[in-house]
Structure 1
Amino acid sequence: MVATLQLPIYLVFMFAIFGLAAWALIDLLRRPAAAFVSAGKRTKPLWGAILGVATAVSFAAVPFPKGIPTFPLFLALLCAVAAIVYLVDVRPAIAPYSRRRPPSSGPSRGGGW
């Protein structure tokens, strides 16, 4: 009885961790490398390596359908920690440096005759 409840809950947690890591990696890829330096955070390649490994490990942690979880849970939790640190600490810090600016329409015509 308990085992029939544990597997779906475990599966939901593993998919959530994978989704979180993938979201962090996709967000990282969309940010310019200069924003990391300007915000005083670690470099984009380092965060890319951390989140790339976290996404791969969290994908491997998702059990096969109707399978028994064999992957160590603590590794999946470390992946979640890496993604959460990026999303909660790094992402807000680099956001002001990576905003897109509206396209300029050329020289302004204001002022003067």
Structure 2
Amino acid sequence: MDVFVLEGWIYLAVFFLLLVIKIFAFANSLLYSAESYVAADRRNKTTWCAVLGVALLLQLAQLVLPLPLFFSIINFGMTIAALVYLADVRPALAGLRRR
């Protein structure tokens, strides 16, 4: 197997993994009420939904358009935002429901 073919498959796998993460984070952010975000002492629901929605749109745009490096760097930041949501905000919101 050629090294470049293997690199392409790895890139494709990472791309779709990040797409699934961003879809899950965005969909999950829509499930909680705006009051839950305030009660969990996190940014408001509008902010998180906007950030995660832009993250998802940028990931989908990479599927269709050849974006320049600038958008790849922004997409990397948006990936970090989605991971922060899943690691910090989501558990705080879920903890409110258990009480």
Q: TM-score, normalised by structure 1?
A: 0.74
Identical-pair percentage = 36
What SS does structure 1 have at the residue aligned with 2:55? helix
Partner in structure 2 of residue 11 of structure 1: 12
Partner in structure 1 of residue 49 of structure 2: 48
Higher helix share: 2
Equivalent residue pairs, number: 95
Indicate if the aligned counterparts of 1:20 and 1:83 stay in contact, CA closer than 8 A.
Answer: yes
Match of 1:91, as an amino acid? R
Question: Which runs of no fewer than 5 residues in structure 1 stay unpaired?
Answer: 102-113
- Matches for 1:18-97 after TM superposition, within 5 Å: 18-62=19-63, 70-71=66-67, 72=69, 73-97=72-96
**Deviating runs (4+, > 4 A) in structure 1?**
none
What are the superposed Cα offsets for residues 48-104 of structure 1, whole Å, 9 maximum, x if unpaired?
Answer: 000000011111223x6xxxx94444343223211100000101111122x289xxx
Match of 1:13, as an amino acid? V
Q: TM-score, normalised by structure 2?
A: 0.84
Q: Bigger radius of gyration, 1 or 2?
A: 1
What SS does structure 2 have at the residue aligned with 1:5? helix
Partner in structure 2 of residue 109 of structure 1: none
User: Could you tell me how far apart the structure 1 residues matched to 2:73 and 2:20 are?
Assistant: 17
Question: Which runs of no fewer than 5 residues in structure 2 stay unpaired?
Answer: none
Match of 1:28, as an amino acid? S
RMSD of Structure 2 on Structure 1 (CA): 2.0
Q: Shift in Å at residue 28 of structure 1?
A: 0.6
User: Could you tell me how far apart the structure 1 residues matched to 2:37 and 2:45 are?
Assistant: 6
